[in-house]
Amino acid sequence: MSETASIKRLRSIEEAQLAFPCMAEVPSPWPESLAACRNWVSQNLGRYVEGYHVELANGEVVGQLYYAPSEQALIPYRVEPGVAVIYCEWIQGRHQGRGFGRQLFSTFEAQMRESGCKGILIEATEHEQYMHYRHYLARGFEPILENEDRKVLYLPLQQAQVQVTALAPRIRPHRGVPVEILILSGYLCPFETSTHLLLLDVAREFGDRVRLRQESLTPNTLERYGVAGGIFINGRRKLAGATSEAEIQQAILEEF
């Protein structure tokens, strides 16, 4: 008999502390990062993030879908009100192919229709292993905008078209010492946050040759910077998730 799962909407801090099962399939290599991201969801649930979890009969959470209404979504786009914006969606690898992903999205889509949502928007990628755009085309999403290596897709529910415009990035590259580092922490992902936390330690090794600033993403910082997260060294976007200490040191040294 195959194992069944139920779809649970996040409604409490306790449920938010089970967030990001994508990083809990095996012991996480970044426990501090995972804890920081779960705390962010706990603090912002019902404000900048909503979500659904796939839960097995034993209470284990094995899948996730996080989103926000367009009025509160922390994304580098202006989107008209009344649209649901997906941040991320994932089923643990050992549970993929069992229909949990279809069950998760079908529940989400049905509840968005019931609530009168105009449609569902997602910024998909060209990476096969993460939020690949073809996965959403197969669900009926339509491409409406391209932004660097990302594709913005829309699934109409109550409204056939949606107004979306990309924000203009306002962080300008420059040279100089002290090297200025901006960590812009937006909708948190443990993979990316692991580099943020390590960078804080590495930057201190450079003393007053590095000026470090860390900001949490809000609607105000979205307007100020025009981007929804990342690491900027002298205004250049550098470093991705799971970066080593040596790679971080090299990225800083390149600016001297």
Region at 214 (left for phi over 0; alpha for psi -120 to 50; beta for the rest): beta
Q: How, if at all, do strands 230-233 and 179-185 pair?
A: antiparallel
pLDDT tens string for the chain (256 positions)?
A: 467 999 999 999 999 999 999 998 888 888 999 999 999 999 999 999 999 999 999 999 999 999 999 999 999 999 999 999 999 999 999 999 999 999 999 999 999 999 999 999 999 988 877 789 999 999 999 999 998 778 999 999 999 999 999 999 999 999 999 999 999 986 678 888 999 999 999 999 999 999 999 999 899 999 999 999 999 999 999 998 889 999 999 999 999 9
Break the chain into its structural domains and give their ranges: 5-166, 179-253
Class of the CATH domain delimited by 5-166: alpha beta
Asked if the domains at 5-166 and 179-253 fall in one CATH topology, the answer is: no
Give the residue among 207, 123, 204, 215 at the shortest CA–CA distance from 171: 215
Give the residue among 75, 83, 73, 88 at the shortest CA–CA distance from 162: 83
| Superfamily covering domain 179-253 | Glutaredoxin (3.40.30.10)
The residues with which 238 forms a beta bridge, in sequence order, are: none
Cis omega before residue 81 (within 30°)?
A: no
251 contact partners, CB below 8 Å, separation of at least 6: 233, 238, 239
Q: Supply the pTM of this predicted model.
A: 0.93
C-alpha span between 177 and 58 (Å, rounded): 55
